[in-house]
Structure 1
Amino acid sequence: MMTTPRRPLPRPAHRPGAAWDARAARFGGWWAQALELVLPVTCAVCGEPGRALCRECRIVLRRATARPRSLVPPPPLAAAGVRVWTAGEYEHELASCLLAFKNGGRTDLAPVLSAVLAPVLAAAARDVREAAAPGTVPLYWVPVPTSARARRRRWLDPVASILGGAPLPRNTCVTAAVSHRRVRGRGTGSQKGRGGAQRERALRATMRASGVRGAVCVVVDDVLTTGATAAEAVRALRAAGACVPAVVTLAGVRVPRSPQENAWTSEVAVSEFPHGFI
């Protein structure tokens, strides 16, 4: 008998389709109108005033992420034996939107990113159903948790916020089953510029999971670089008794890039709101 994870957040059944772009544009328009009263709203990619994402950039983003793909897992995830699904590469419009949302205070981009994530969830759910779980068994999406330091800096949990706004495939729901734990004498800090082995050492045993024994879980992250963070979440879930066949990510960094190139790629010009803004 399956044990239901604590505090699952069920979502209405929905089949993502071509109408997602229109819905994202409508929500983005509402946010833009509200923010325009206190702060000029500009396109997160090209800077055109008036919208969170202008029509041209939205079309390019839609085309770049329309077909979810399965990635060759980086070494930590390959060793864990999980499949990796992503919406697109971490560059251009997708990278700009993610960084503006995470580091620039652009919460008006959340509906755009949730819409990008939806088709990836659908593709991963079909794959997991075929390979690991019958259609009657619930599937749980588990967001990679943000650190306390990052939450204080950003005022939100980026992955949980994007996942919470995405339409979910039938018979699936979200559960925040993974959390950080303190490891004496070791802090995770920023992972930029670190290689895969360094990230694995820094993150080893820094997460724990609960309430998922016997459940089928898929880890959800925003950006996949070396795979060390997602692999630690997979380890924590399996240690808690869950079956974890796959990882889903909004964007993936091309494997041939070095850690220095990955760090440079993530430094898109994004201005953060001052912490005294509100």
Structure 2
Amino acid sequence: MHGWWQEVAGLVLPVACGGCGRPRTVLCAECGQALYGGAAGRVRPSPEPPGLPAVHAAAPYEDAVRAVLLGHKERGALGLAGALGSALAGAVRAAVTWPQAKTAGPLLLVPVPSARGAVRARGHDPARRIALAAAGELRRTGVPARVLAVLRQRRAVSDQAGLSARERAANLAGALEVVAGGGRLLEGGRAVLVDDLMTTGASLAEAARALSATQERLISVSAQVSAAVVAAPALSFEINRN
């Protein structure tokens, strides 16, 4: 029984850094700096899928940042959600002009949904958990924000691993929709799509399409929505592009 509890506690409150493995800390200062210590930047995949909103990321997807994301997402290290939420909050701030955005109401963090099978296999929804942590961090710094999980998958999609950018776009085309009544909720603030990782941008482009499809107003949601992620490939940061 004692050994079982140690294993569970190690998942919820890791005794080693989730980035580099140094002992006796959830995330060491060095790995925390890599994850959320820098300024978030605009990222663009190449090729860029049609309909992709402006996306900002907190950090390049490499080394310690990659380890932290995988630890939380695939290995159940739920204690890392707070650090990842802090990183996502920084990307959200970069994605939205503030305080001018106050006129649009609170920030509505809309997580890109995972496939139901993936959520069952992992035992949690990583993007939604990180979004909740980010919303809490934003509120602590005076920015009104809440999570609005209004997107869902309307049909099954294939595993994205190993697919090219074009194959991912085709796999996700028309796959998402806004839940009944979600359109009215979106009218209450400024929508920001959020996810843990952007690679090709296909998921965010499809999520933006689904949001805009619910609206019937002169200025569509797609013209106003922005997106923020914890990490993206290093080459997608604008500073690294010619």
TM-score (norm 1): 0.68
Residues 4-15 of structure 1 correspond to what in structure 2 (within 5 A)? none
Say yes or no: does 1:253 pair with 2:221.
no
**Superposition deviation, residue 35 in structure 1:** 2.1
Specify the alignment match of 2:151 in structure 1: 178
RMSD over aligned Cα, in angstroms? 2.7
Match of residue 152, structure 1, among 106, 120, 127: 120
Q: Quick one: distance in 1 between partners of 2:23 and 2:170?
A: 44
- CA contact under 8 A between 1:74 and 1:227: conserved in structure 2? no
Q: Letter of the aligned partner of 1:204 in structure 2? A: A
Q: CA deviation at 1:55?
A: 3.2
Residues 254/61 of structure 1: CA separation in 2 closer, same or farther (3 Å cut):
closer
Deviations 1:152-185 (A, max 9, x none): 1111110110110122262432201101112xxx
| C-alpha deviation, 1:255, in angstroms | 5.0
Counterpart position of 1:69? 41
Residues 172 and 53 (structure 1 numbering): CA distance in 2 closer, same or farther, change over 3 Å?
closer
Determine whether 1:200 maps to 2:169. yes
2:169 aligned counterpart, secondary structure: helix
Is contact 2:36–2:86 with CA below 8 Å preserved after alignment?
A: no
Counterpart of 1:243 in structure 2: which amino acid?
Answer: V
Q: Is the 8 A contact 1:75 1:227 kept in 2?
A: no
Of Structure 1 and Structure 2, the greater helix share is in 2
Residue 16 of structure 2 corresponds to residue 42 of structure 1: yes
SS of the equivalent of 1:168 reads: helix
Q: Structure 2 stretches of 5 or more lacking a match?
A: 1-5, 237-242
Matched, 1:224 2:195: no
User: SS in structure 1 opposite 2:110?
Assistant: strand
8 Å CA contact retained: 1:111, 1:162: yes
For 1:168, the equivalent position in structure 2 comes to 138
Shift of 1:41: 2.2
Does residue 122 in structure 1 map to residue 96 in structure 2? no
Change (3 A) 1:76 1:220: same
Deviation per residue, 1:12-62 (Å, 9 max, x gap):
xxxxxxxxxxxxxxxxxxxx9x92599972222222221222233334434
Identity score, percent: 34
**Cα distance in structure 1, aligned partners of 2:227 and 2:204:** 7
**Separation in structure 2 between the aligned mates of residue 181 and residue 100 of structure 1, nearest angstrom:** 28
Would the aligned equivalents of 1:221 and 1:249 in 2 still touch at CA under 8 Å?
A: yes
Instruction: Give 1:143's match in structure 2, choosing from 111, 114, 117.
Output: 111
- Choose the corresponding residue for 1:108, options 75, 79, 94: 79
Is structure 2 residue 92 aligned with structure 1 residue 92? no
Amino acid of the structure 1 residue aligned with 2:132: G
Distance 2:151 2:122 in 1: 20
Q: In structure 2, what is the equivalent of residue 4 of structure 1?
A: none
CA 1:104 to 1:246, structure 2 compared with 1: closer, same or farther past 3 Å? same
Q: Contact 2:19–2:68 (CA<8 Å) still a contact in 1?
A: yes
Query: What is the match of residue 240 of structure 2?
Result: none
Higher mean Cα deviation, 210-219 or 154-163?
210-219
Runs of 4+ in 1 over 4 A off after TM superposition: 36-40, 73-77
2:59 partner amino acid: G
Query: Equivalents in 2 of 1:255, 1:69: separation in Å?
Result: 12
> How many residues in Structure 1 have an aligned counterpart in Structure 2?
214
